[in-house]
Structure 1
Amino acid sequence: MEVATINESLKILEIDQWLAPFEGDLRLRMSEFERTKNRLLSGENQTLSDFANGYKYFGFHQDGDSWTFREWAPNAEMMYLVGDFNGWNGLSHEMTRLNGGVWELRMPGSLPIGSKVKVQLIVDGEPLYRVPSYISYAIQNDNYQFDGVIMQPTYQFKNAAPDLSTEAPLIYEAHIGISSEEHKINSYEEFTRDVLPRIKAAGYNTIQLMAIMEHPLYASFGYQVSNFYAISSRFGTPDELMELIDTAHGLGLRVLLDVVHSHAVKNVGEGLNLFDGTTSQYFHEGDRGEHEAWNTKLFNYGKDEVIHFLLSNLKFWLEVYHFDGFRFDGVTSMLYHHHGLGTGFDSYEKYFSMDKDIEAIVYLMLANELIREVNPSALTIAEDMSAMPGMALPLADGGIGFDYRLSMGIPDYWIKQLKTKSDDQLNLMGLWWELTTRRPGEKNIGYAESHDQALVGDKTLMMWLADAELYYSMDVHSQSLIIDRAIALHKVLRLVTFSLAGEGYLNFMGNEFGHPEWLDFPREGNGDSFDHARRQWSLATNPELRFQYLLDFDNAMIALEHDSKFLQKTASLQQKWIQNDDKLLAYQKGDLLFAFNFHPTDTKFVSFDSTPVELIFDTDDARFGGFGPRSQFKWAAGKLELQLASRTAMVFRVMYQL
């Protein structure tokens, strides 16, 4: 990948002229990236992809008539491989110390596939037992701790990844374990059979899989990783995950991994914490190595061995499992020494202060370059609530290299609106600013709600709108003003977010039909119940319930993008009409004209200059649970006259330009 050098002009300064006072900081970012990259690529490594081959060297490998196991543990005095294949007695499998703190074991014969294993380290004369750091599979033992398992997947991929280069990302965020309607942890196989067809039928083109990297606490949603090269064994085997991804590719779906390189679980013995008896092997020493809010460990991104481990991890997921890219979790925490906690990013100075973690920023730049080397079509998305300038600009322009950033403020905006204000207090100028303000030149993924809003302690949009009435009045025969309002607003809030908040869109599974309940994993506090750790798909297919209308609406909304491809046309966002007192909003994007009436009670009239139009979408349509057609329109002599019913929206196709 071509990147800017410190002697070149940085395009980011042209894209955002407010960055001019911070040119030195931006050049420091680039020079540190170049310096680190040059250091890593000394010797035989010509590219980052050459460098990031840790998973091909460490761990278990069959080599002809013998097999080799390697581990990195510089503080260990001795090391043994133990497991059920040798009665957990490592005397017969003592490892040899090589240079750089690497340990190696070479053995004749075949790998003992399926054997449970650990490494036994001797540190200060005492034995320590650890799950191998590059293990690809781990299962919980009788003590609810992980044992590594020697696995050798045999699945053969059949389908090439789809070419979605001309399509906006329409992302279906999914969690395998909670994807069943039954009271259980769902499997990769069942997700492949039951859920993939739903996603395809709904029109989404990208799946973002959560909680794939192995994690001890199910309720952590996969965000406290212990084993970075292992898939979650709760859901099945490596072959079954490979088949899931391959099947998705066959359906024309791209699959992203929700990757967690921002921190690691503290568990000793299962993950990397105190792996060789020291905190400094992978993590920072002292307070800098502790995430106070998350109670987790923080990587030392300035250490070559750590960079090697993490970059190799990205290449591993791309090459071995054929993932098509990543959503990077917790990027804000990585960018700053204060991790974004209690900080309002209300000035550019806060992005370039001494609080920034330049080593972490460089790591993210390296990660993006590596990913494009391995798969030029791969997609990367940053979860950054701080709006760091350049996050979603190319490295060659002075950016950090992500394709998209998440529009993280939008869900919070909607929750605040529904919690603290009445419908008639919606400020349309404020709404427009929230939905359209972006970093110059950077693309966003818009969303009205994600898994964050679904967790216990919060509510989904539909729960905020209808609350307990969801349990009593969602049947098609009930009369409820609360439900009528909830369905109407659920549709218009999602449509305005879909059309304005990003160049791509994300939905968390079940939210497309207004899933009525929060997420709460089995735990002691709820009697280990699965009641809220599942998805009630049948609600949306039951003809006696109104959830079907919201699903039909979401399908039709997603189809708008397939038919018109307007999300990426931010530059064509044309004249807007805002009448705040009447709660009227209209705008043209691409060849689509959107018109909204957010007024809680009144039908409103609006007239403006327009070319001829064709009505293609009405949120008040009866098939979407509306009462329409109530709204009307007329075009004549260059004027479009609209009569919009309350809490409805209409979408028109502009026939031609005058």
Structure 2
Amino acid sequence: MIIMKQKSKFLKLVKNDSWLEPYNDAIQGRHDQVLWKLNQLTQDGKTSLSDFADGHLYFGLHRTDRNWVFREWAPNATRIFLIGDFNGWKESEAYELKPIGTSGNWEVSLPLSAMKHGDLYKMKVYWDGGSGERIPAWCQRVVQDDDTKIFSAQVWEPAEKYVFKKQNFRPKRNPLLIYECHIGMAQDAERVGTYNEFRENVLPRIIKDGYNCIQIMAIQEHPYYGSFGYHVSSFFAASSRFGTPEELKQLIDEAHKHGIAVIMDLVQSHAVKNEVEGLGNLCGDPHQFFYSGERREHPAWDSLCFDYGKNEVIHFLLSNCKYWLTEFNFDGFRFDGVTSMLYYSHGLGESFNGYGDYFNGHQDGNAITYLTLANLLIHEVKPSAFTIAEEVSGMPGLAAPFKDGGYGFDYRMAMNIPDFWIKLIKEFRDEDWKPSSIFWELTNRRAEEHNISYCESHDQALVGDKTIIFRLIDSDMYWHFRIGDETIGVDRGIALHKIIRLLTASTINGGYLNFMGNEFGHPEWIDFPREGNGWSYKYARRQWNLVDNKELCYQYLGEFDRLMLELLKSERNFQKLPVVEVWHNDEDKVLAYSRGDLLFVYNLNPQRSFTDYGFQVPEGTYYIALNTDSYSFGGRGIIGDCKSVLTDPDPLLKKYGKGWLRLYIPARSGIVLRKVAKGKR
């Protein structure tokens, strides 16, 4: 069936935002470009996009009941051999691939005795004027030799394949609470952690803390550990430095068993330059997968940029999306580097001050088409899956449905929020914080697009930056974080760390994200082993012993984070409830807003507490559901937990069903009150 173009005057995206009307033709043009490409890839609807994205089932090495079959797309090659443990790493006629017509594809069929599970191998590729050993583009297992550090593909056909026990898992997204993590650095020891260690030691913590989604970084194989997984070499291979594919599947299955979704940080915005391990020069054509000329290399990332205009590249990347969903049962993706994909400039040096900056012809239409197709595919293959765009420019429609004129992401990262908190902490005295500005920054977003809000992710923890807790407390964390030995600076840091998190998490319109360890104020930065630090793992780990030590203050922050998430989940579809401002006073530094039956009240004043501070709210009884100043969270405990407060009547407010709620609000605190339904406590 041919997919027809939409003929309405304005797409819904434009109808919802009149400021987009001058750019309706550009938005419609992008929409039509996707429809045209979709028709082309699906033969005018005769097949599905999912059928098109089955490249991983055809290319690479596959074992059938009768033989081994290996295929590769190498249009510039003149000869290709498989070399490996099975033939002494020597070229032989039996292991030579043959071209399949003029398609650029190559193939070899081998008897089952020709290789076995665990054998290492590579391709030896010849082209006019050169040759080289290469790891196949579509291989699903790559390992590194401990001594030589050389990477090789590996035959991976275990006798027993992992069978998922939890079938038909559906993620909970009301709200989506994401725990961003890295398998390798998720342990106390100064070494690389494993999938099994994460499943056994870290997953139980995440379950207890109340997060309902894990976002795993650095899954796709990457030669340099210190790249944080962003310089990918083998896009279909789960990183072997953390364990086997079966162990990753078991981790995902165990998470699903406990109701936790698992998404991966998907890198398709660029690729590592490496030629032997990666795609940089697979068969003598450096532009096989990548743009030519100046567009081939990313000017800031020392990497290569995919040519999203080639159907073969689209096939490779879409198949990559489907592979991770179907083979490993991932529940979706956080797409890395979307800004870099959208613009010819990669967003570098751009200010994005107005709508015209999104429709000035400097956008990569090929990449926009690909990203939209990827979202269509992902939701076709797995309707319960969801996608998140890491995008800083604010491109309108990124997280709007395709049918409305958008790109189809379910969420976009609210990257303005961590930048705002860092700027506020760095450049302004506590006395100069303005509640009105904070509230505006946390709630300023496109109404039709859902966001993932966060105070800090892994980015804010890297060397060269500082986590929020480190900015607030600095070196006192080393010497005065023992309970009973806190300094004024430590007390301030603990108080603001909780308030910043409560403000951010309670104003979401989609989801909330935290990087592992930051929930309890993990000290120091992240620094992977490299030449500059003597290849040390000291800062590439998480010191869980700190939060487990009941003599230290870390437990306060961890416990607050757990109860904060519990509170948010107690209100059904919390993320959909309107955020209604009740009051702000920048001079007093007081802010209040409501969501459903919850009332959030903050006093950001560093010195002054307020007695009988009044708010006009719906009449009734309110009780304190969460208090950042509680003893349990390292506060002063001035207000008793679970204290009830009754509104005072006012004849002028009676007709509106409102009264005065008068509260004692300690300095530098946040209080959440729940309105009690009639007839209940």
Preserved contact between residue 161 and residue 249 of structure 1 (Cα < 8 Å):
no
Change (3 A) 1:139 1:174: same
Q: 2:581 pairs with 575, 582, 585, which one?
A: 575
Q: 2:7 is matched by which residue type in structure 1? A: N
TM-score by length of 1: 0.97
CA distance in structure 2 between the partners assigned to 1:435 and 1:166 by the alignment? 20
Q: Look up the match of 1:595.
A: 601
Q: 2:29 is matched by which residue type in structure 1? A: L
Deviation of 1:28 (Å): 0.5
Q: Look up the match of 1:107.
A: 110
Q: Look up the match of 1:267.
A: 274
Q: 2:513 is matched by which residue type in structure 1? A: L
> Is the deviation greater in 1-10 or in 180-189?
1-10
The runs of 5 or more residues in structure 2 that have no matched partner are 650-658
Deviation of 1:604 (Å): 2.3
Deviation of 1:161 (Å): 5.1
> Matches of residues 74-85 of structure 1 in structure 2 within 5 Å?
74-85=75-86
Q: 1:580 is matched by which residue type in structure 2? A: D
Q: Look up the match of 1:344.
A: 351
Q: 1:647 is matched by which residue type in structure 2? A: R
CA distance in structure 2 between the partners assigned to 1:2 and 1:399 by the alignment? 21
Deviation of 1:576 (Å): 2.8
CA distance in structure 1 between the partners assigned to 2:585 and 2:510 by the alignment? 25
> Is the deviation greater in 143-152 or in 528-537?
143-152
Q: 2:13 is matched by which residue type in structure 1? A: I
Deviation of 1:18 (Å): 0.8
After superposition, give the CA deviation of every residue in 1:316-375 in whole Å (9 maximum; x if it has no partner).
Answer: 000000000000000000000001111111100110111101110010100000001110
The answer to whether structure 1 residue 177 and structure 2 residue 184 are counterparts is: yes
Preserved contact between residue 79 and residue 121 of structure 1 (Cα < 8 Å):
yes
Preserved contact between residue 566 and residue 592 of structure 1 (Cα < 8 Å):
no
Q: 1:139 pairs with 125, 136, 143, which one?
A: 143
CA distance in structure 1 between the partners assigned to 2:80 and 2:299 by the alignment? 33
Q: Look up the match of 2:95.
A: 93
After superposition, give the CA deviation of every residue in 1:289-316 in whole Å (9 maximum; x if it has no partner).
Answer: 1100001000000100000000000000
TM-score by length of 2: 0.94
> Matches of residues 33-432 of structure 1 in structure 2 within 5 Å?
33-42=34-43, 46-91=47-92, 92-99=94-101, 100-110=103-113, 111-141=115-145, 142-152=147-157, 154-160=161-167, 162-165=169-172, 167-432=174-439
Matched residue of 1:77: which SS? strand
> Is the deviation greater in 616-625 or in 493-502?
493-502
Change (3 A) 1:3 1:627: farther
Q: 1:459 pairs with 449, 452, 466, which one?
A: 466
Q: 1:635 is matched by which residue type in structure 2? A: T
Preserved contact between residue 4 and residue 398 of structure 1 (Cα < 8 Å):
no
Preserved contact between residue 71 and residue 102 of structure 1 (Cα < 8 Å):
yes
CA distance in structure 1 between the partners assigned to 2:481 and 2:2 by the alignment? 56
After superposition, give the CA deviation of every residue in 1:396-449 in whole Å (9 maximum; x if it has no partner).
Answer: 111100000010011111111111111111122221121001113100000000
Q: How many residues align?
A: 657
CA distance in structure 1 between the partners assigned to 2:317 and 2:70 by the alignment? 19
CA distance in structure 1 between the partners assigned to 2:372 and 2:4 by the alignment? 12
Change (3 A) 1:72 1:479: closer
CA distance in structure 2 between the partners assigned to 1:362 and 1:402 by the alignment? 13
The answer to whether structure 1 residue 623 and structure 2 residue 632 are counterparts is: yes
Q: Look up the match of 1:614.
A: 623
CA distance in structure 2 between the partners assigned to 1:15 and 1:155 by the alignment? 47
Q: Look up the match of 1:529.
A: 536
Preserved contact between residue 407 and residue 501 of structure 1 (Cα < 8 Å):
no
Preserved contact between residue 566 and residue 590 of structure 1 (Cα < 8 Å):
no
Deviation of 1:279 (Å): 1.6
Deviation of 1:526 (Å): 0.9
Matched residue of 1:78: which SS? strand
The runs of 5 or more residues in structure 1 that have no matched partner are none
Preserved contact between residue 458 and residue 515 of structure 2 (Cα < 8 Å):
yes
Q: Look up the match of 1:645.
A: 666
CA distance in structure 2 between the partners assigned to 1:38 and 1:114 by the alignment? 41
Matched residue of 1:500: which SS? coil
Change (3 A) 1:413 1:195: same
Deviation of 1:644 (Å): 0.6
Matched residue of 1:485: which SS? helix
CA distance in structure 2 between the partners assigned to 1:643 and 1:2 by the alignment? 65
CA distance in structure 1 between the partners assigned to 2:173 and 2:459 by the alignment? 29
After superposition, give the CA deviation of every residue in 1:126-178 in whole Å (9 maximum; x if it has no partner).
Answer: 32111011111111234423111111251111112533355211000000000
Preserved contact between residue 131 and residue 284 of structure 2 (Cα < 8 Å):
no
> Is the deviation greater in 207-216 or in 274-283?
274-283
> Is the deviation greater in 508-517 or in 163-172?
163-172
Give me the identity figure in percent: 47
Change (3 A) 1:49 1:217: same
Change (3 A) 1:318 1:459: same
Deviation of 1:655 (Å): 2.8
CA distance in structure 2 between the partners assigned to 1:646 and 1:589 by the alignment? 23
CA distance in structure 2 between the partners assigned to 1:286 and 1:576 by the alignment? 56
Matched residue of 1:493: which SS? helix
> Is the deviation greater in 291-300 or in 33-42?
33-42
Preserved contact between residue 452 and residue 508 of structure 2 (Cα < 8 Å):
yes
